[in-house]
Amino acid sequence: MNRRSLMTLLAGMATTKNRGASLDQMQNALQIIQAQIDNSTLHAAVLHVRRGDQVTQHVFGKASPDSMFLLGSITKPLTVALPVMILVDRGELKLSDHAVKYLPEFNEGARKDITIEQLLTHTSGLPDQLENNNALRASHAPLSEFVKGAMRTPLVFAPGTKYQYQSMGILLAAEIVTRVAKTSLPDFLQRHVFAQLGMSRSVLGLGGFKKSAMIPVQTEHAAPESGAGDPKAREWDWNSDYWRHLGAPWGGAHSSAADVATFLRSFLHPEGKVLREDAARRMIQDHTPTLEAHRGIGFVVGPAGLGKDCSPRVFGHAGSTGTLAWADPATDTTFVLLTSLPKNVSGGLILHPVADLVSAGA
């Protein structure tokens, strides 16, 4: 979207009744994104906002309306927490089950006390990344090697006593899904999530899509665990063939903004296509009310880090690749902003300012 098309769009908005964010707030939100496109800080973005039946989507830079972005950690609730809850809803496992019941090799010391719920709420005591994460990626290790490492890595604290963000807990929850369902996670998702919800622009890894069809991440600003922009990491960073194909369940999904919005709205208005209403509601409730961070099953719950004027019932997630998505049941609003600029730059510059404006107008 260039400056002329932005102004044309805003002029058109002024003639319509906007039941979502106010016109001024949406203007400011769009201008924040466009300014970073104009100065070449940001290469591509898609903003998708819906309140009730009112939908607005705006495309910036090198993106198109159906562009697929590397989601980063939005992958966690979409590709791991939801499949776990599908199995819970079917009665095939319980959140209170100990992980060792399905991962018998995960039995040393306090590991045997870790529950599936703790894996999904970041309270298991596992670390975020393995100590040899970069070495594994540099050697193009398969996911099975990360699983083996997560089984053995020392716990950081006693299970259930603290909150600490942990991608390795999510990885082991994903491993439980594959063992219980007896199928690969990408296949499970395609059959039981994406096809059911009509999410035709979503995939864990690349599946049948080509890497060239995906929006590249501006890896010069990548997170430390993804190479931190080091040219020597190009064979394993976020844009590498290795990472895009790997399908890491903690950060390797690709999706369009509209598809992410569809995923979020399946919790605002459960229709039984994927989860029954009780299971959907359970997933977005606060499961860590006594800890410093409030987590649902795979989701952040509460406005902190999502949108400052969201209600306490809001749920969502951000991704270090430059993504942010949330849904607020109090206003029937979904917000999805996918960008090519990693969150350590886009967070304060684009993601949170835009989310705050939209939440204020909802």
User: pLDDT tens, position by position, for the chain (362 residues)?
Assistant: 444 344 434 433 433 334 444 778 999 999 999 999 999 999 999 999 999 999 999 999 999 999 999 999 999 999 999 999 999 999 999 999 999 999 999 999 999 999 999 999 999 999 999 999 999 999 999 999 999 999 999 999 999 999 999 999 999 999 999 999 999 999 999 999 999 999 999 999 999 999 999 999 999 999 999 998 999 999 999 999 999 999 999 999 999 999 999 999 999 999 999 999 999 999 999 999 999 999 999 999 999 999 999 999 999 999 999 999 999 999 999 999 999 999 999 999 999 999 999 999 87
The domain 69-361 is placed in CATH, from the list 3.40.710.10, 3.40.50.970, 3.40.50.1100, 3.30.450.190, at 3.40.710.10
DSSP per position, 187-253: HHHIIIIIHHHT-TTEEES-TTS-GGGBPPP-GGG--GGGTTT-GGGTTTSTTSHHHHHH--TTT-E
Q: What angle do CA 8, 255, 328 make, to 5 degrees?
A: 75
Question: What is the helix (H) or strand (E) element at residue 36, kind and residue range?
Answer: helix 23-38
pLDDT of amino acid 55: 95
pLDDT of amino acid 142: 98
Tell which residue, 9, 42, 41, has the closest CA to residue 27: 9
Question: What is the helix (H) or strand (E) element at residue 336, kind and residue range?
Answer: strand 333-339
Question: Hey, what amino acid is at 159?
Answer: P
Q: What are phi and psi of 21, to 5 degrees?
A: -60, 145
Domain positions in the chain are 69-361
pLDDT of amino acid 31: 97
**Given strand 69-70, what is the order of strands in its sheet?**
69-70, 253-255, 202-204
Tell which residue, 322, 323, 326, has the closest CA to residue 334: 326
pLDDT of amino acid 5: 44
pLDDT of amino acid 8: 39
